[in-house]
Structure 1
């Protein structure tokens, strides 16, 4: 695969993830947030399972099966994934697809901030102005619906913290185990099981409701979770980091586009300004450290 093909694959991933917000919103017509999340991720795990099993066999041949600490790490990733997905799903029930897409993307500037707080990793200078810009963009976007953010916006903003923590630690766990599909399948499984157990205690699960939400669940589970995450892994092996950063950030734009075309989402001038500001900050915080000037500053 050459660089152009990889970039096209990553663009497809951005389209998939952006469109998945519509499926998540439509899925709420038949099931609750925990039920939707649980079935979605268990379905994704079943699709990735053959690849995970192949990696498990290869690790067994080399005598490098994951240890107890590795299992604990994957389980922790699954819990973070569950919290991010469920909070986002709850938020989608009372906010627009457009808002959910842009507010979820707040995890991008949160990652270096949390790395600084938790891992004591010095952030690039661009984190500070882009974080302030994202806060301003969030205020503008949420203010598009009134003086204060709607409740759904607050749930989605909370989910971005757990998405950021997941991004912060998933690379460390995957690097230690050296089996990305095994890690992916394991965390999907943990996320799905915990979500369904919680759903059994707090939500009413019916076959009619699952059938009503069937198509959105299949789309979100097979296309977004299994294919989207897998294609990201493949594409980023051949794409330049700066290319991947910009292309995957377009997820927010596609979420707004699909929200406009399929859900009737509309933004006023304040909302559009907020979306633009968040998108600019997301792109800058990802590519600034990759520029020659940014790398010189870090040294």
Structure 2
């Protein structure tokens, strides 16, 4: 059995970080709005990147600018929707709904890149859909599948787009320069959207300072690790590793006292099983006489 490579270990660390952020964001949003938090988080990450990689940024190319902007728009959509959803749903529920991005990736590739899903992709999509139905059924008994849940499902769609963009764009140039651009774009878009959405600046609180700045530092390291690691790790292998994210998120929520009903746990298990099943490759049948 081969040991994980450095790149695979880096992506495993990314999923552990992601899993813990659901609870942090859920708590921080009691003290500020979602767009402000996303803006603070990613502008902090981008500015740190500028300070650390200022020499490398002097050689930035148009291709790297374009790649960073495309990924940054996807990040902005993903994290804004996820943060909005965490205002009204638990961190555990958000973690499992966000995991839908893995079985969604083949559908996005089919629509955008004209690559039809494999049979196990369809199996994974079906299992993930069953899990979503179970989670929705639980919500129905608690007041319905509300805006928070739908925003998180749309977040999963945006996350699928981010994964595909990173796989296609990260090879277009230097990971450091692309990372800094995408972080600044995501943060700037969130701050510019505040007046449009009617969101005001929050009252000062050390909680949103610690949450936003702390996750900003982590986000810079995470995006840099993803852009670096996915040059050597295939999208298939990367998505299998990312399947650990909702598990860590569920554990963090459980430690904090977030108890899911039995149907929600079953739905969460279906989503994780669908994530794993969608990445199983069935060996092609050998032709007779070969």
The TM-score normalised by the length of structure 1 is: 0.84
Which of these residues, 207, 211, 214, is aligned with residue 212 of structure 1? 207
1:50-87 deviation digits (Å, cap 9, x = unpaired): 56444445xx4xxxx522x6534432322221111111
Partner in structure 1 of residue 222 of structure 2? 228
Most deviating of 140-149 and 267-276: 140-149
Distance 1:222 1:98, change over 3 A: same
Distance in 2, matches of 1:238 and 1:81, equals: 21
Number of aligned residues: 282
Distance 1:245 1:83, change over 3 A: closer
Assess if the C-alpha contact under 8 Å between 1:144 and 1:267 holds in 2. no
Partner in structure 1 of residue 276 of structure 2? 283
Partner in structure 2 of residue 41 of structure 1? 42
Partner in structure 2 of residue 193 of structure 1? 188
Give the C-alpha shift of residue 207 in structure 1: 4.8
Alignment of 1:17-32 (within 5 A): 17-32=18-33
2:149 is aligned with 1:156: no
Distance 1:97 1:200, change over 3 A: same
Alignment of 1:93-112 (within 5 A): 93-112=87-106
2:201 is aligned with 1:166: no
Distance in 1, matches of 2:234 and 2:170, equals: 20
Distance 1:238 1:72, change over 3 A: closer
Distance in 2, matches of 1:12 and 1:73, equals: 24
Which of these residues, 88, 110, 114, is aligned with residue 82 of structure 2? 88
Name the structure where helix makes up a greater proportion of residues.
Answer: 1
Unaligned 5+ residue runs, structure 1?
A: none
